Amino acid sequence: MARTITVAAAQTDAVLSEDMRPGVREACRMVEQAARQGADVICFSELFLTPFFPNRLTQEFSQFFIELSDPVAAPLIDLAREREIALVFPFGERAGRYFYNSAAVFDRAGRHLGTYRKTHIPAILPSQLKGGTGSYEKFYFTPGTALSVFELDGVKIGIQICYDRKFPEGSRALALQGAQVLLMPICAASYGETKLRDNTWELPLQARAYENGVFVVGVNRCGNENGRNHIGKSLVVNPVGAEIVAMASTDTPEVVVATLDLADVERAQTSLPWWRDRRPDLYGGLAAG
């Protein structure tokens, strides 16, 4: 079993065009950089190839969704395989008549291990978010129905997408399946309350790491996109003490690379043995709806 894994968090820029090809070219550049820095896996931010279209309502949205077989994705998937780096590819997924906010997982040989579909779908009106543009994700996305763990080079990886990070149950379910690292593609923006947003950006990621004894990698977008000022600050949280061990140094596109020592997962879960002391017999109400 692998004792370390080197992860690359690809902090991508705001997207102002509906053409995905420029984003694919920039993503390929980031894969090259991550490979030079010895990364075993690279993860991109939520819906990184398109504008964050769910902040508005429109009947014309099919251009934001693709199938994995779409030629536009091929250069990135192929390059990751050639550079022998595993890839977590967040995208708007078209599956028959359904649309999902998804992240496909490829191993370093380019094999598609599976696709995680975002399970918690928000709906926030502009009036509910001071200075914000709102989120109409429920209008676009069908919720996913599975919390899966993927194995990359002997390391067990779980995926949570953006809003998912605010629900501890999902991360705990993945940890109970043996996940050692949670990769979280995110598209988080600030609307003027910078200090508050900074706190609410870091705290859920640190909490998920600490309470489960796992590494958490938050991969965010940066730049201004029609009023959405993405905060960047992609980061890596160690489970021991919930310490932030790596963070983007700028609010511009950047690849954050960190080597994770999986012994820290064992240390964290030994010092806080939640798996031993939990009381599922009392938690039935959590699943009652």
| Phi-psi region at 47: left, alpha or beta (left = phi > 0; alpha = psi -120 to 50) | left
Give yes or no for a contact between 99 and 144, defined as CB atoms under 8 angstroms apart.
no
Helices (H) and strands (E) in the chain, counts: 7, 15
Angstrom distance (rounded) from CA 181 to CA 238: 10
Spot the catalytic one: 26, 43, 46, 187.
46
Spot the catalytic one: 162, 187, 233, 254.
162
- Catalytic site residue 46? yes
Half-sphere exposure of 9 (CA within 13 A, CB side): 31
Determine how β-strand 86-95 pairs with β-strand 41-44. parallel
Side chain identity at residue 21, one-letter code: R
Per-residue burial over 40-61, b = 16 or more CB atoms within 10 Å of its CB, e = otherwise: bbbbbbbbbbbbbbbbeeeeeb
- Strands across the sheet containing 112-117: 112-117, 98-106, 86-95, 41-44, 4-11, 254-261
List the structure tokens of 178.
């043996």
- Catalytic site residue 32? no
Q: Could you identify the residue written with the tokens 């002997």?
A: 154
List the structure tokens of 198.
């900074």
Spot the catalytic one: 26, 118, 156, 225.
118
- Catalytic site residue 266? no
3-state helix, strand, coil in the chain (%, to 5): 35, 30, 40
* Residues taking part in catalysis: 46, 118, 162
